[in-house]
Structure formats: C-alpha cells, structure tokens
A and B are shown apart, each in its own frame.
Chain A
Amino acid sequence: MKIIIAGGGKVGAKLTRMLSAEEHEIVLIDSNSKIVGEALNRYDVMTLQGNCASVEVLEQADVGEAELLIAVTGTDEVNLLCCLTAHYMNKAIHTIARIRSPEYSGQISRMRETFALSMVVNPERQAAREIERLLRFPGFLKRDTFARNRVEIVELQVNEDSVLDGLALSNLENVAKCKVLVCTVLRNGNAMTPDGSFVLKEGDRVFVTAPTYNLSLLLKSLGILPRKVKKVMICGGGRLSYYLAQLLQKSGMGVKIVEKDHDRGINLAKQLSKADIVCGDATDWAFLESEGVSQYDAVVALTGIDEMNMVISLYGGKSGVPQIITKLVHMESNVLSDLPLGSIIDPKELCSNIIVKYVRSLTNRDCAAITVHSIADGQAEAKEFRIEKNSKYCMVPLKELHLKKNVLIVCINHGTELVIPDGDSYYEQGDTVIVVNSRQNIVSQFNDIFEY
C-alpha cells in the first residue's frame, strides 16, 4: 500500500519503521532535513523535505496514487490542514490526523465528519484510557485486549510469596480456578514459550490469556488481592494528566495532581472542579511525604521528563504505594525492566500501535492480522486472525497440528463463545484465533504458523 507519513517525530519514525517492515511503500515528509536524511539512511522509504500541508510537496509525494495519509506532525492545525489538502487532491485517500489539544477534544467526532478524516488519534487521551484500565484492575502490569475487548493478555509478576512461585503450568488451572493459558514467560530478559511441565520461578513475568470476565476471579485465586484503587496521585500536570483526571473522576476515584508550575496549576483547577491540585516539585521526597504519598493507592508519574518520572516512581515504590505507573517516552522500556517502575506507559507507542492496527485492517484482504499487540518487552507478538476459507486445518484438533517452534494458539473465539484451547479444541471458518509467537519467526498470515 502507498502511504504518506507527514511528520518524522517519534510517532512518525516509529510508524515508518513498523510500516516499512511490513513492505508498504512509504513517503515520509518532514520540514527538518536532518530528520529526513536520517530516516532515508535507516528505513527503506522515500523522503521529502518540506511543509506537508503544501500542495506542491504533496504533489511530489504522489498523493494522487497514495491510499493513506498519516499526519503526525507536532501541530494539530498542520495535521488537519495536511489531511484536508490531501483529501482535496485525492478524494479516495484515507486520512489519519493526530489531534491532541484538549480544546479540540470535544469536537473530534464533528471534525471527523466534516473534514472526512478516517481516524483521529489522540495519544494522550488513549494513554489516559489505558492507565484508567490498569487502575481498575491493579495487580496487572499490562493489559492487551482482543476480540472486541472480551479476551485479554495480562502481565503478572511472580513475587516471592506468590502461589505461582514454584508452580508447574499443568497445575495452573486448579490454582487459578478458571481456565487460563500462559502464553509467554519472561525470565531474565528472555521470552520463553512454556509447555505444561514449565515451572514458574520468582521474578518471572508471566503473560496470561484469559477472558475479561475471569480477570477478577483470577486475581483473587492467585492471592493478588485487588485492593480497589480509591485515591490516585498524578505527578505532572500536562495534557495526559488532564485527560486521566477526568476519566478517573468519572469512575469515582479521588485524584490529586502535583504540578510544579503555578499558572498551569490554576488552569487545571479551573478545568477540573473536583481534583486536588497542589503546586510543588514531585521529585522532592519531603514534599511528596508531606502530601501523604504513602496513603495513596496509586502513583502515576506523568511529567514531561522521563528521568523525573523514574525518580517519582522509585519514591512511590519505596513509600509502599501498591500500584505504580510510569510514563517513559524516550527510553527503551526493556532496558529498564529490572527497575521497580511498575507499569510503563508510552503514549506515542500506543498511538503508533493504533495507527498500525488501522493500516492492517485496510490491508486485511490478504489474511493479515486483525489485532496485534507486542508483549514481553517486544520479544513476542500476540496476533488475532480471522479464519478464512483458505485457512489450513479447520476442524482438526490442535494436538494433531504441527505448529512452528515458539508459536502458540492461545484463544479461539467461536461466535459468542470464548475457548481457552486444549489439545482437543479446534477452530472453524468464521472464528477468530489469537496466536502468540516470539519475534524470531515472524508470522504475517495465519497459515504461517504451521510447520508444513
């Protein structure tokens, strides 16, 4: 597919990397010639230097032939104008714009209609939603949903006194009291695909597939008592904090926002009537103590600086806050996986994943995955496929299939019924199937999962 990406910032670069790896023909436009040159050296794409909203530049990018335009420059207005111009030049083009200013957030759906945008992404808002989901089920480090939010792959940490420590996976069903499946275990930084004889150890990070309605039962039976989150401390008062505070208030949680800048604090106080806004430095230990950080159920570090967020999270963990969420934008999260930073959120990564998902659904004609999540620090991927007419081995019990090494079928959705499969399960046409594979053997179509 021919795709134009406008803006080579973090999201733009990430999209360029992911989409060019999927063999799309990409033209990247950025006004900074350094960014453009770097991208040309790194990815198999064509680049253009210039203003992406100008007709001349879009013409050079061959917008008439392109199927999709993704506008992810730093400015909302430029993104919008870029999509409008492209749509004016090519009526058939799909357009995605990143719009993140809270002032526009109320009019997104109207803008989408009038400006004929295919999709509007708002990284901060998406991240806020993700954080809210995590806070609803404390105990999981990460939740990835499939099959219209009915199945999830959740990440758990095996702690010292956990029932999971020393447990063989064949025994898991008895302990969990519901049917779940461990798809990947991350031990010492290496992702492994376990079988029934695999024994969990302290320090492992476990990725479990379970239907959403079983999550609370799972938490309870694993002895991870879901202490309901009632009070949240948010450090940093940016856009993301605003969206998050709004969402949390709606679900009835108490929110305190710590913001350094006084004017910004006043602004937030104007916008959020119920939240406590305090003005101070969140990296100051004494200050956090005086605000009673240890009394909170969760600390969410969302300042603009990664290092500060890490410090805040470490403080929070030290003072015994059970749930920690850290925003990290510029760091490779797998380098830091040993630090007790709790769940790590990267709004830009979330945003690019959503866009990539959309692109995949556009190209879905050739049996590509419907949903893709990267799990285990990017060492494994979970993908949801629809079983088509040409999919192999329909109606054959799974134990008779020869899957490639490190590939696992973790869930079969048969109509309204969710099946966590065992050896006798099978799939048929019309089902969707979730497959987890490690990074080495890249699966792009469903039929790729078989050895032969």
Chain B
Amino acid sequence: MNYKVIGKYVGHILLIESILMIPPLLISLAERQYRAVVGFLVAILASFVVAMLLRVLCKDTKKTFYAREGMICVGLCWIVLSLFGCLPFYISGEIPHFVDALFETVSGFTTTGASILPEVESLSNGILFWRSFTHWVGGMGVLVFLLAMAPGKERGSGFTMHLLRAESPGPDVGKLVPHIKETAKILYILYIVLTIMNILFLLFGGMPLFDAICTAFGTAGTGGFGIRNDSIAGYSPYLQNVCTVFMLLFGVNFSCYYLLLLRNVKSVFKDEELRLYVGIVAGSILLVAWNIKDMYATMGETVRHAAFQVASIVTTTGFATTDFDLWPSFSKAILLCLMIVGACAGSTGGGLKCGRLLLLFKSLRRNVHQVLQPHKVQVVRNNGRPVDEQVIANVNAYLAAYVLIGLVSFILISVDGLSVTTNVSAMLACFNNIGPGLEAVGPVCNYSVYGVFSKLVLIVDMLAGRLEIFPILALCTRSGWKRR
C-alpha cells in the first residue's frame, strides 16, 4: 500500500473542494449573509490548510499505484470530501447537528437528494447553492475532474485508470479515447454543455436565474435537492417537462453522446442498454399513467405527473411534482422497482444500472439453457460482442453485495421503529441515490424522522451506492490497508 500517493490525491481533492466553495462564498457575500460567509471561509481555510499539509507530507512518492490504491483512494476521497463539505452547513448554524450536516452533504455529493431539512426555503442562498452544487460535482465525480485537470506530469501511465474505474458507474468502464486525460475532459465538456443547455431551457420558461442554476445542478447530477419546499411542483408545466426531459438525458450513458458527436448514430440506436432504458421508461410511464388516470383532471396532467415521477425515480434524481405516496399501490410498486433498476451505466445516475441488469438477465438465461442442454457452449453477448467472463462474474458478485448490504442496512435502520414500508423505501432510496421514499420519508416528508445511528447507516449506504459498493467495502478490509 502506497499511503503517500493516496495522501497526495486526497490533498488534490481537498484543494479542488476549497476552490469549489468560492462561488457559494461570493453569493453569501453578495447577499450579506455573514454567518454563511463565516461558514464557507472556515471550510475553505480548513480544507486548504489540510490540502497543503498533505501536499508537503506526501511530496516525494512513486507515482504508480495499483487497483488496491485506486479503490482505497476513491473511497477515502469521497469521505474526506463529505467531511469538509459539511462544514459550511454546520458552522453557519443553518444545520445545527453535525450528523445532519454530514447526511445532507453526503446526500449531495452522492447525488441522492435525501434531506433531513423539514423546509429549505429558510436557508440562505449561498448555502442553497452549495447544496445543489454538491450534486453537480458529485454527479460526474471529483476524481474524474481531477484526471481531466491533471498536469502533464501525471501522464504516461495507465494507473489512473483504476481511479476512473472506481469512480465511474457501470460494470465495464472503458475509455472514449486513448488518453485518460482526454477521456475525462470529453466527459466533463459533455456534462457542462448539457448543464448549460438545461439552464437555458429553464430560463426560457421564465424561471429565475438562481433557481434555474440550482435546479439544473440537481438535474445534471441526478441529485434531487430542490430549493423550494415543494420541490418542482410549484413551477409551470413547461418547466416540469423540461426537467423530465433533462433528467432522462442525464440518465443516458455519456459515451452515447460522444458517439453522436462522432456522427455514429447507428451504433447509438443499436445500443442494447439504451434500448432497454427507453423501453423501461416508456413502459413505466404508460402503466403509471393508466393506473393514476382518475386522480388528475386532464389526460395531459396525468401523463405529465407520471412521466416526471418515472423519470425522476429511474434516473435516481428524486425531484417530485406531486406526492406519489398518495398514488395507488401498483404505481408505488413500479416506482420501487424503478429505484432498483436505475439509469444507464456511465451516466450520472445511480441504482443497479440498466447495463448490469441486462447482463444479469443474459447470464441467467444462459444458466437456464445450460441446465436444459448441459453440453451447449454459450457466450454472453452485448451489442453483438462477446462479454468477458470476468465482467459477468463481477456483475454477479455486485448483485450479491448489493442485496447483502441492502438487507443489513434495512435491519439496522429498523431499530428506529418506523413502518416496514418506510424502512424499505428509505434504504432503497438512499442506497440507489434517489432521495424520497414512501410514507414517512415520502416526497413531502424527510429523513429527520430517523435517529443518529440510522442516519449514519444511510450515509454509508449512499456512499456505497454512488461508488458502486467495492471502494467502500475495500475501506473495511484489512488487506486493503496492509503494507505490502
């Protein structure tokens, strides 16, 4: 284990974080909200000092690191990022309890959008901006950002691939172009362009600039922190539809956009994961709309609400335009399933991912065939290409870890005595980075009903969900930390 190289990366991440806190600081200054200013100043100073300390301490080290360092590094970076990111909330006094502030920050960075705040409109604008900004930063990942910005010195090794792989969602993370730095750059440019388009569309619908930026951040990261107490419900139907479309867009694998840029439209349309994603979304909207058709006045309204909620859940965003906790059980069941399905691999969304589901289904089909025809030799294919057996094994292992962690955390948060539905949906909503669940944690409620212990469990769930379990599991193993 090369502790120094990990320290170096953690230092880089903290430095980036201290820079990222400058915009909200400026907003707080402009709005003359001095408690928030103090909060941001302290947080910036603290992370800057620690970053510099780490930089000095871990100065001379070999630049190479391996899968193990990559895993530990990513897990640690996210925890440190959250610990320092929650300082503004805590120090400004706007979220008085530390665990609550941490929950809110982790929920932000992991793009969950689960809140412990009963109402958000009383928060100052700087804090609100930071809250939404964490979504945007966490959506594509800070380490990917670091890779995109890394100076020329770090070039020439593929070791950073371990970082990209550990932070980016999906069963088989690949590069778009040979250089990892260029790959990271392309991802971020696509991300920024899409976000700006989202902001423009919202502005066009008459949303105030601040609201538009924060909402776009929440949408882009598929996070779900609103800046109004009623989430998106108070905005016009046009704005809601814009959100629906962009949520779905951010749930698509970003390499599809890159292929579109290269004018390779054919392979985008043939992409099996994208087809499955579109199919699931369309099917769910139809079923939900049919199921709730008596609850709303017009057909248009019904479809709008159905589409928004389905998009919000399947991309694991967690915005809401209506209280879907009041919907019939069939619709709620569909939404619960969508929570598990999640968005596409390589998007900013969470969940199990369509791509993984596809592979699971295909390998299951193969195993069934194997039972019927024991001598048949079969290869699992994705988009016509054979899938490496190791990838399939990893997907199966991922499912096992996913179920296990889900069960354990469900049992752990049940000690607070809330209903089974609440606990199941809370676990699913946090673990899949969605946000709102059902009943006591429904779209119009929040997570303040849980105790400190359960909040800590859910914090771990959110991190594990965002980083796809293994980096967080690696932090808990002894061999991950052992010196070689």
Binding site for B on A (CB under 8 A): 2, 20-21, 23, 25-27, 33, 39-46
Contact = CB atoms under 8 A, between A and B. Distances in A.
Interface in B150-194: 155-162, 175, 177-182
Task: Provide the main secondary structure of the chain A interface.
Answer: mixed
A43 B177 contact: no
B79 to A, nearest CB: 25
Given A44-B179, A46-B175, A46-B177, A39 B155 contact: no
Interface of B: 66-67, 155-162, 175, 177-182, 388
A24 to B, nearest CB: 8
Contact of B158 (A23, A25, A27, A43): A43
A44 B180 contact: yes
B159 A20 contact: no
A342 B159 CA distance: 36
A40 B157 CA distance: 9
A85 B40 CA distance: 60
A27 B67 contact: no
18 contacts: A20-B158, A20-B178, A23-B155, A25-B182, A26-B178, A33-B388, A39-B158, A40-B158, A41-B67, A41-B161, A41-B162, A42-B157, A42-B159, A43-B156, A44-B155, A44-B160, A44-B181, A45-B178
B341 to A, nearest CB: 29
A25 B67 contact: no
Contacts of B388: 33
Contacts of A45: 158, 178
Nearest to A28: B178
B156 A20 contact: yes
A42 B388 CA distance: 19
B178 A25 contact: yes
Contacts of B67: 41
B157 A43 contact: yes
Task: Provide the main secondary structure of the chain B interface.
Answer: loop
Contacts of B155: 21, 23, 44
B157 to A, nearest CB: 6
Contacts of B177: 25, 46
A43 B175 CA distance: 12
Contacts of A44: 155-158, 160-161, 178-181
A25 B179 contact: yes
Contacts, number: 46
Nearest to B67: A41
Contacts of B182: 25
A45 B181 CA distance: 11
A375 to B, nearest CB: 21
Given A44-B158, A46-B175, 8 more contacts: A2-B178, A21-B155, A25-B182, A26-B178, A41-B159, A44-B156, A45-B158, A45-B178
A21 B175 contact: no
Contacts of A25: 177-179, 182
A33 to B, nearest CB: 6
Contacts of A26: 178
A429 B156 CA distance: 32
A123 to B, nearest CB: 25
Among B161, B162, B182, max chain A CB count under 10 A is at B161
B445 to A, nearest CB: 46
Among A20, A27, A40, A44, max chain B CB count under 10 A is at A44
A231 B214 CA distance: 83
B159 A27 contact: no
Contacts of A40: 158, 161
Nearest to B154: A44
A42 B158 contact: yes
A40 B165 CA distance: 11
A42 B66 CA distance: 9
A337 B329 CA distance: 76
A43 B160 CA distance: 9
A373 B182 CA distance: 30
Nearest to A27: B178
Nearest to A49: B388
Among A21, A39, A41, max chain B CB count under 10 A is at A41
B303 to A, nearest CB: 41
Nearest to B64: A42
A33 B387 CA distance: 11
A313 B158 CA distance: 38
A313 B239 CA distance: 80
Contacts of B180: 44
A46 B162 CA distance: 14
Nearest to B70: A41
A139 B177 CA distance: 49
A26 B156 CA distance: 11
Contact of B178 (A21, A42, A46): A46
A40 B160 CA distance: 10
A39 B158 CA distance: 8
Contacts of A20: 156, 158, 178
A39 B178 CA distance: 12
Contacts of B158: 20, 39-45
A45 B157 CA distance: 8
A56 to B, nearest CB: 10
Contacts of B178: 2, 20, 25-27, 44-46
Nearest to A26: B178
Nearest to B174: A46
B187 to A, nearest CB: 15
A13 to B, nearest CB: 12
Contacts of B160: 44
Among B158, B160, B177, B388, max chain A CB count under 10 A is at B158
A23 B179 CA distance: 8
A62 to B, nearest CB: 9
Contacts of A41: 66-67, 158-159, 161-162
A45 B156 CA distance: 9
B226 to A, nearest CB: 40
Contacts of B181: 44
A444 to B, nearest CB: 11
B62 to A, nearest CB: 14
A386 B162 CA distance: 40
